[in-house]
Structure 1
Protein backbone atom coordinates (compact mmCIF):
# COMPACT_ATOMS: atom_id res chain seq x y z
CA UNK A 1 0.00 0.00 0.00
CA UNK A 2 1.46 3.36 -0.95
CA UNK A 3 1.65 6.51 1.18
CA UNK A 4 -1.29 8.10 -0.66
CA UNK A 5 -3.53 5.18 0.38
CA UNK A 6 -2.26 5.35 3.97
CA UNK A 7 -3.10 9.06 4.17
CA UNK A 8 -6.52 8.40 2.64
CA UNK A 9 -7.29 5.86 5.36
CA UNK A 10 -5.85 8.05 8.12
CA UNK A 11 -8.17 10.87 6.99
CA UNK A 12 -11.12 8.47 6.71
CA UNK A 13 -10.55 7.11 10.23
CA UNK A 14 -10.15 10.62 11.66
CA UNK A 15 -13.41 11.69 10.00
CA UNK A 16 -15.19 8.63 11.39
CA UNK A 17 -13.87 9.44 14.87
CA UNK A 18 -14.92 13.09 14.67
CA UNK A 19 -18.40 12.12 13.45
CA UNK A 20 -18.87 9.67 16.32
CA UNK A 21 -17.65 12.18 18.90
CA UNK A 22 -19.95 14.88 17.49
CA UNK A 23 -22.96 12.55 17.64
CA UNK A 24 -22.08 11.64 21.21
CA UNK A 25 -21.91 15.28 22.24
CA UNK A 26 -25.22 16.02 20.51
CA UNK A 27 -26.87 13.07 22.26
CA UNK A 28 -25.53 14.19 25.62
CA UNK A 29 -26.82 17.72 25.04
CA UNK A 30 -30.23 16.47 23.90
CA UNK A 31 -30.65 14.18 26.88
CA UNK A 32 -29.52 16.69 29.49
CA UNK A 33 -31.29 19.75 28.06
CA UNK A 34 -34.62 18.11 27.34
CA UNK A 35 -37.15 17.96 30.16
CA UNK A 36 -40.41 16.77 28.69
CA UNK A 37 -43.65 16.01 30.46
CA UNK A 38 -45.92 13.54 28.73
CA UNK A 39 -49.63 13.48 29.40
CA UNK A 40 -50.06 10.26 27.49
CA UNK A 41 -48.26 7.13 28.76
CA UNK A 42 -47.91 5.90 25.17
CA UNK A 43 -45.99 9.07 24.27
CA UNK A 44 -43.71 8.57 27.26
CA UNK A 45 -43.10 4.95 26.27
CA UNK A 46 -42.26 5.97 22.72
CA UNK A 47 -39.83 8.63 23.95
CA UNK A 48 -38.16 6.16 26.33
CA UNK A 49 -37.88 3.60 23.56
CA UNK A 50 -36.29 6.20 21.28
CA UNK A 51 -33.80 7.17 24.00
CA UNK A 52 -32.90 3.55 24.65
CA UNK A 53 -32.33 2.99 20.93
CA UNK A 54 -30.13 6.09 20.70
CA UNK A 55 -28.09 4.93 23.69
CA UNK A 56 -27.59 1.50 22.11
CA UNK A 57 -26.33 3.20 18.95
CA UNK A 58 -23.91 5.35 20.96
CA UNK A 59 -22.66 2.24 22.78
CA UNK A 60 -21.92 0.56 19.46
CA UNK A 61 -20.12 3.69 18.35
CA UNK A 62 -18.11 3.70 21.59
CA UNK A 63 -16.91 0.21 20.71
CA UNK A 64 -16.12 1.39 17.18
CA UNK A 65 -13.92 4.15 18.63
CA UNK A 66 -11.65 1.47 20.11
CA UNK A 67 -11.39 -0.20 16.70
CA UNK A 68 -10.65 3.13 15.01
CA UNK A 69 -7.88 3.88 17.53
CA UNK A 70 -6.47 0.41 16.94
CA UNK A 71 -6.49 0.96 13.16
CA UNK A 72 -4.72 4.29 13.61
CA UNK A 73 -2.11 2.57 15.78
CA UNK A 74 -1.60 0.01 13.00
CA UNK A 75 -1.05 2.89 10.56
CA UNK A 76 1.55 4.38 12.92
CA UNK A 77 3.21 0.98 13.33
CA UNK A 78 3.32 0.43 9.56
CA UNK A 79 1.15 -2.70 9.61
CA UNK A 80 -2.18 -1.24 8.53
CA UNK A 81 -3.74 -3.33 5.78
CA UNK A 82 -2.00 -6.56 6.78
CA UNK A 83 -4.16 -9.51 7.81
CA UNK A 84 -3.44 -10.44 11.43
CA UNK A 85 -4.28 -14.07 10.67
CA UNK A 86 -2.25 -14.89 7.54
CA UNK A 87 -0.11 -11.78 7.01
CA UNK A 88 -1.39 -11.18 3.47
CA UNK A 89 -2.37 -7.71 2.32
CA UNK A 90 -6.01 -6.74 2.85
CA UNK A 91 -7.46 -5.36 -0.38
CA UNK A 92 -7.96 -1.60 -0.63
CA UNK A 93 -11.59 -2.21 -1.64
CA UNK A 94 -12.18 -4.15 1.61
CA UNK A 95 -10.46 -1.47 3.65
CA UNK A 96 -12.60 1.22 2.01
CA UNK A 97 -15.73 -0.73 2.99
CA UNK A 98 -14.48 -1.46 6.52
CA UNK A 99 -11.31 0.47 7.39
CA UNK A 100 -11.09 -1.02 10.89
CA UNK A 101 -10.89 -4.61 9.63
CA UNK A 102 -7.94 -6.76 10.65
CA UNK A 103 -8.67 -9.77 8.44
CA UNK A 104 -8.44 -10.31 4.71
CA UNK A 105 -11.61 -11.56 3.03
CA UNK A 106 -10.32 -15.13 2.88
CA UNK A 107 -9.58 -15.28 6.63
CA UNK A 108 -12.82 -13.49 7.52
CA UNK A 109 -14.82 -15.95 5.40
CA UNK A 110 -13.05 -18.86 7.11
CA UNK A 111 -13.77 -17.33 10.54
CA UNK A 112 -17.47 -16.94 9.73
CA UNK A 113 -17.66 -20.50 8.40
CA UNK A 114 -16.03 -21.81 11.58
CA UNK A 115 -18.56 -19.87 13.67
CA UNK A 116 -21.47 -21.33 11.69
CA UNK A 117 -20.21 -24.89 12.14
CA UNK A 118 -19.76 -24.39 15.90
CA UNK A 119 -23.33 -23.15 16.37
Structure 2
Protein backbone atom coordinates (compact mmCIF):
# COMPACT_ATOMS: atom_id res chain seq x y z
CA UNK A 1 0.00 0.00 0.00
CA UNK A 2 2.76 2.44 0.89
CA UNK A 3 4.46 1.83 -2.45
CA UNK A 4 1.28 2.84 -4.30
CA UNK A 5 1.21 6.18 -2.52
CA UNK A 6 4.93 6.67 -3.12
CA UNK A 7 4.39 6.00 -6.79
CA UNK A 8 1.47 8.43 -6.95
CA UNK A 9 3.55 11.11 -5.22
CA UNK A 10 6.33 10.50 -7.73
CA UNK A 11 3.93 10.89 -10.65
CA UNK A 12 2.57 14.10 -9.15
CA UNK A 13 6.08 15.46 -8.65
CA UNK A 14 7.13 14.49 -12.18
CA UNK A 15 4.04 16.10 -13.71
CA UNK A 16 4.64 19.27 -11.73
CA UNK A 17 8.33 19.28 -12.69
CA UNK A 18 7.39 18.92 -16.36
CA UNK A 19 5.04 21.85 -16.02
CA UNK A 20 7.77 23.85 -14.26
CA UNK A 21 10.23 23.21 -17.09
CA UNK A 22 7.99 25.24 -19.40
CA UNK A 23 8.09 28.25 -17.07
CA UNK A 24 11.70 29.30 -16.81
CA UNK A 25 11.67 32.88 -18.04
CA UNK A 26 9.96 34.47 -15.01
CA UNK A 27 9.58 33.78 -11.30
CA UNK A 28 7.27 35.85 -9.10
CA UNK A 29 8.97 37.81 -6.34
CA UNK A 30 7.87 39.83 -3.35
CA UNK A 31 9.04 43.16 -4.78
CA UNK A 32 6.04 43.37 -7.10
CA UNK A 33 2.34 43.76 -6.29
CA UNK A 34 0.85 40.50 -5.02
CA UNK A 35 -1.10 38.62 -7.70
CA UNK A 36 -0.31 41.15 -10.39
CA UNK A 37 -1.39 40.21 -13.91
CA UNK A 38 2.11 38.89 -14.52
CA UNK A 39 1.94 36.64 -11.45
CA UNK A 40 -1.54 35.46 -12.40
CA UNK A 41 -0.33 34.58 -15.91
CA UNK A 42 2.65 32.74 -14.41
CA UNK A 43 0.50 30.60 -12.13
CA UNK A 44 -2.05 30.00 -14.90
CA UNK A 45 0.74 28.63 -17.16
CA UNK A 46 2.10 26.56 -14.31
CA UNK A 47 -1.31 25.08 -13.49
CA UNK A 48 -2.32 24.40 -17.10
CA UNK A 49 1.06 22.79 -17.82
CA UNK A 50 0.67 20.54 -14.78
CA UNK A 51 -2.90 19.61 -15.77
CA UNK A 52 -1.91 18.90 -19.37
CA UNK A 53 1.03 16.70 -18.26
CA UNK A 54 -1.29 14.67 -16.02
CA UNK A 55 -3.86 14.27 -18.81
CA UNK A 56 -1.19 13.15 -21.27
CA UNK A 57 0.10 10.56 -18.82
CA UNK A 58 -3.46 9.33 -18.18
CA UNK A 59 -4.03 8.89 -21.93
CA UNK A 60 -0.90 6.78 -22.10
CA UNK A 61 -2.15 4.61 -19.25
CA UNK A 62 -5.53 4.16 -20.90
CA UNK A 63 -3.90 3.15 -24.19
CA UNK A 64 -1.63 0.72 -22.37
CA UNK A 65 -4.56 -0.88 -20.53
CA UNK A 66 -6.57 -1.23 -23.75
CA UNK A 67 -3.70 -2.80 -25.69
CA UNK A 68 -2.39 -5.09 -22.95
CA UNK A 69 -5.31 -7.24 -21.96
CA UNK A 70 -4.77 -10.05 -19.51
CA UNK A 71 -2.99 -12.67 -21.60
CA UNK A 72 -0.96 -14.42 -18.94
CA UNK A 73 -1.72 -18.11 -18.69
CA UNK A 74 -0.04 -18.44 -15.32
CA UNK A 75 -2.33 -17.46 -12.43
CA UNK A 76 0.51 -15.87 -10.47
CA UNK A 77 1.50 -13.70 -13.44
CA UNK A 78 -2.12 -12.70 -13.97
CA UNK A 79 -2.51 -11.80 -10.28
CA UNK A 80 0.65 -9.72 -10.43
CA UNK A 81 -0.59 -7.88 -13.52
CA UNK A 82 -3.98 -7.25 -11.92
CA UNK A 83 -2.25 -5.81 -8.85
CA UNK A 84 -0.13 -3.53 -11.02
CA UNK A 85 -3.23 -2.34 -12.87
CA UNK A 86 -5.06 -1.73 -9.61
CA UNK A 87 -2.21 0.44 -8.35
CA UNK A 88 -2.09 2.29 -11.67
CA UNK A 89 -5.84 2.93 -11.62
CA UNK A 90 -5.67 4.21 -8.02
CA UNK A 91 -2.91 6.56 -9.10
CA UNK A 92 -5.04 7.80 -12.00
CA UNK A 93 -8.00 8.31 -9.67
CA UNK A 94 -5.81 10.37 -7.37
CA UNK A 95 -4.64 12.41 -10.34
CA UNK A 96 -8.25 12.86 -11.50
CA UNK A 97 -8.96 14.46 -8.13
CA UNK A 98 -5.83 16.57 -8.50
CA UNK A 99 -7.07 17.84 -11.89
CA UNK A 100 -10.25 18.96 -10.10
CA UNK A 101 -8.13 20.97 -7.67
CA UNK A 102 -6.13 22.45 -10.54
CA UNK A 103 -9.34 23.45 -12.32
CA UNK A 104 -10.59 25.07 -9.10
CA UNK A 105 -7.33 27.04 -8.84
CA UNK A 106 -7.72 28.22 -12.45
CA UNK A 107 -11.28 29.36 -11.64
CA UNK A 108 -9.93 31.28 -8.63
CA UNK A 109 -7.47 33.04 -10.95
CA UNK A 110 -10.38 33.98 -13.25
CA UNK A 111 -12.36 35.28 -10.26
CA UNK A 112 -9.43 37.22 -8.78
CA UNK A 113 -9.35 35.06 -5.64
CA UNK A 114 -6.23 33.02 -6.40
CA UNK A 115 -3.40 33.35 -3.91
CA UNK A 116 -5.58 34.42 -1.00
CA UNK A 117 -6.39 32.17 1.95
CA UNK A 118 -9.96 30.89 1.88
CA UNK A 119 -10.08 31.08 5.70
CA UNK A 120 -8.34 34.35 6.59
CA UNK A 121 -8.32 36.22 3.27
CA UNK A 122 -4.60 36.90 3.70
CA UNK A 123 -2.16 36.40 0.83
CA UNK A 124 -0.63 32.93 0.61
CA UNK A 125 3.15 33.22 0.38
CA UNK A 126 4.62 33.04 -3.11
CA UNK A 127 6.96 30.28 -1.91
CA UNK A 128 3.99 28.16 -0.85
CA UNK A 129 2.18 28.80 -4.13
CA UNK A 130 5.34 27.95 -6.04
CA UNK A 131 5.66 24.64 -4.18
CA UNK A 132 1.91 23.85 -4.14
CA UNK A 133 0.08 25.97 -6.71
CA UNK A 134 -3.29 24.49 -5.69
CA UNK A 135 -2.92 25.72 -2.08
CA UNK A 136 -6.05 27.40 -0.73
CA UNK A 137 -4.77 28.30 2.75
CA UNK A 138 -1.77 29.96 4.31
CA UNK A 139 0.59 27.62 6.15
CA UNK A 140 -0.77 28.84 9.49
CA UNK A 141 -4.41 28.32 8.50
CA UNK A 142 -3.57 24.87 7.09
CA UNK A 143 -1.85 23.88 10.34
CA UNK A 144 -4.86 25.05 12.39
CA UNK A 145 -7.17 23.12 10.07
CA UNK A 146 -5.08 19.94 10.41
CA UNK A 147 -4.92 20.28 14.21
CA UNK A 148 -8.69 20.69 14.33
CA UNK A 149 -9.16 17.60 12.12
CA UNK A 150 -6.84 15.59 14.36
CA UNK A 151 -8.74 16.62 17.50
CA UNK A 152 -12.08 15.86 15.81
CA UNK A 153 -10.91 12.37 14.85
CA UNK A 154 -9.71 11.63 18.36
CA UNK A 155 -13.07 12.49 19.93
- TM-score range (shorter-chain normalised) is over 0.9
Deviations 1:70-89 (A, max 9, x none): 10011111110000101000
Q: TM-score, normalised by structure 2?
A: 0.73
Counterpart-to-counterpart distance in 2, 1:32 and 1:10: 33
Partner of 1:21: 55
Match among 136, 141, 146 for residue 112 of structure 1 = 146
Q: TM-score, normalised by structure 1?
A: 0.94
RMSD of equivalent CA atoms: 1.1
Residue 56 (str. 1) matches residue 78 (str. 2): no
- Deviating above 4 A after TM superposition, structure 1's stretches of 4 or more consecutive aligned residues are none
Counterparts of 1:94-109 in structure 2, within 5 Å, are: 94-109=128-143
- What SS is found at the alignment partner of 1:79? coil
Counterpart-to-counterpart distance in 2, 1:74 and 1:36: 43
Partner of 2:107: 73
Counterpart-to-counterpart distance in 2, 1:66 and 1:36: 31
Deviations 1:35-63 (A, max 9, x none): 34213221111110010000001101111
Counterpart-to-counterpart distance in 2, 1:49 and 1:8: 39
| Structure 1: gaps (5+ residues) | none
Give the superposition deviation at 1:12: 0.7
| Structure 2: gaps (5+ residues) | 1-33
Instruction: State the number of aligned residues.
Output: 119
Counterpart-to-counterpart distance in 2, 1:101 and 1:4: 19
